[in-house]
Amino acid sequence: MDIKGSVAFVTGANRGLGRRLTEQLVARGAAKVYGGARRVEEVTTPGVIPVRVDLTDTASIEEAAAATGDVTLLINNAGNFTPTALLEGSLEEIRAHMETHFFGTLAVTRAFAPQLTANAPAAILNVGSILSWLHPAGVGAYAAAKAALWAQTNAIREEVQPRGIAVTSLHVGYMDTDMVAAIEAEKNDPTAIAGLALDGVQAGAVEVIADILTEQVKQSLAADRGLNPLTVS
């Protein structure tokens, strides 16, 4: 779909990748950009309309959908992250990851699907992760939630294709944002990743694999070489 002239709704628009996505959408000529966040006062990108939405609050999701009606591009970006293992980690934290990344994203998609259908051609961008396919023990909760989101994205794509809605999945490693500021690792520039993601939506791509390591991990699935990054070449 054409980003120029689109009407976009971005969850998690107050920081990190979400903020960069709203900036890029405005710069690329989107007709309107809604910035969804739990704390709307933090949505400060010029030209972006703040809308309260909390992925763990179904009522707020329904209210956000009712407050719009003209959306043609839904970007499911909001997420949470803690380094929580599956066996020894807090079950509450594990559930929180799934509630946000899987059930929260699904609730937003279901709420906005009628207006996307009515305004088609339309598109959905779901922000996945390298951890959709790479599952280190120390971040098992997040990885499991992102793997579930990947499955959801692929199933939703088939459901909405007859309605004129395209679905793109973004997969990327760590980005230089405050969500993972405490992690020592090589990090991608979120502004560059936002640009690549929107390029993918524009082109109708099924997936955007935004960095070399993520590409290597994805290739390892097809090669059946396992998912240990130390063995991926």
pLDDT digit string, tens, across residues 85-135: 999 999 999 999 999 999 999 999 999 999 999 999 999 999 999 999 999
pLDDT given for residue 231 in this prediction: 41
pLDDT given for residue 99 in this prediction: 97
pLDDT given for residue 228 in this prediction: 52
Is the pLDDT at 225 greater than 60? The verdict is: no
What does the pLDDT look like over 6-42, one tens digit per residue?
A: 999 999 999 999 999 999 999 999 999 999 999 999 9
Please name each of the domains of the chain with its CATH number: 7-231 (3.40.50.720)
Q: What is the mean pLDDT of residues 140-168?
A: 98
Is the pLDDT at 232 greater than 50? The verdict is: no
Is the pLDDT at 203 greater than 80? The verdict is: yes
Q: What is the mean pLDDT of residues 169-189?
A: 68
* CA neighbor of 40 nearest in space, from 18, 66, 73: 18
What token pair was written down for 33? 């950009």
* CA neighbor of 37 nearest in space, from 2, 62, 72, 64: 64
Distance CA 230, CA 217 (A): 10
Is the pLDDT at 142 greater than 60? The verdict is: yes
The better pLDDT of the pair 139, 233 is held by 139
Mean residue pLDDT across the chain? 91
